[in-house]
Structure 1
């Protein structure tokens, strides 16, 4: 039976503000990327999300981003390599402490937003992230875009990695995600998102925003928890995968 990890960015509220339907989404995913307090999240939300993931048997990962609550971590910040390494370590330490208190194993790291996108194309940022993870816990798996600088940095530094693809975002011809400031950066309908997921899983292909077809491989597929309709998308994706004999399961042995 074919297997695929489905990951989702969760815990992205702050204080009394709630974003997404985490409780419901946890029923349909296998890995949760939990915001670590910089772009979203706070100690109470982080702890509650870790506990809920544990109850559902969902893997817990860190979702560190730029220190930018107002911009939700989606605005590029031009930092030096050491600054990026330190912001990673700061956030990893925070979520690890809460995981430890709840007897939960932290399994992976997925950079958020602008940090993720910049690490895909900027070698020094990718290396800083990979170095931080290796220093913190060499067993943590880094989620990164296919053929990205982040994946290459993990290969160079012998850091475990998983190749990630997105089912609710559109792609450029070079394999990068369409920037959010451009029109059609997100896929318009649930049907199109499910179709993109199936194309990636079954054919290792995705149709870009220009209409071209590019090759893409994936160990894990991402659903954005803050997108409108994310719960319905998760439900329809699970149904489609089940009908095709594909099992949703956390990552096992890593590269």
Structure 2
């Protein structure tokens, strides 16, 4: 018999982005946030209390709650696949923040595990569902402007360390503009042009160190471990291309 009432949600990862998720999930009548978990249990407890969530604590606490049906995984990118696999092993559906994983092998293993368990995995971003991009997709599908052969994407930013209170993970494995911002644009283009066939890319680092500019860690240096500039040419199965 199908369950009625709000879907129970457990959040794992109590960092900066969790406030946005908690604000939104608590505003919908069909979702109910049951618990917030984090490796730093005190942080999860504070976040839960601040958003009116009954339980805050460790990861196992969230996974052990039978009323949690979906785990929203907001951990750092390097932990996304492992935490999602834990949730699947506990019988939970998963919504991952981007990226799904750091490589194709771990991403496929995650999806295979979910499939075997009869569970679903979703992943950010969902911005391509917005009105503007959906209108663009309809225009292309109708052929209003003919068949576009190529697209150009440009994104430039000095980096998040000037405003983010704890930006180190942006410059570790799973960070950088490719994994942090790239999913928004690449997801959009896959929706517009279809599956990708071939990619050629190069990456480089503008600086070897970054300095945190705000918050309690201001002044601390970050050693950059990932490319902070990426250029790519993408060919789609349709024959269309993308420069980004």
Q: Same fold (TM over 0.5)?
A: no
Larger relative contact order, structure 1 or 2 (CA cutoff 8 Å, min sep 6): 1
TM-score by length of 2: 0.37
- Identify the structure with the greater strand proportion: 2
